[in-house]
Amino acid sequence: MPTRGSHASLLEYTHSMKTGAAIPSRLSTIQEKYVSVQSSQGR
* pLDDT tens-digit map of 3-36: 555 666 777 777 766 666 555 666 677 778 888 8
The single-letter DSSP state of residue 41 is: T
Task: For residue 34, give its domain range.
Answer: 2-40
Determine the pLDDT at residue 21. Answer: 56
pLDDT of 1 > 50? The answer is: no
Output the CA angle 41-33-27, nearest 5 degrees. 145
The C-alpha atoms of residue 21 and residue 12 are separated, in whole angstroms, by 11
* Cut 0.75: pTM above it: no
Structurally, how many domains does the chain consist of?
Answer: 1
pLDDT of 42 > 70? The answer is: no
Determine the pLDDT at residue 23. Answer: 58
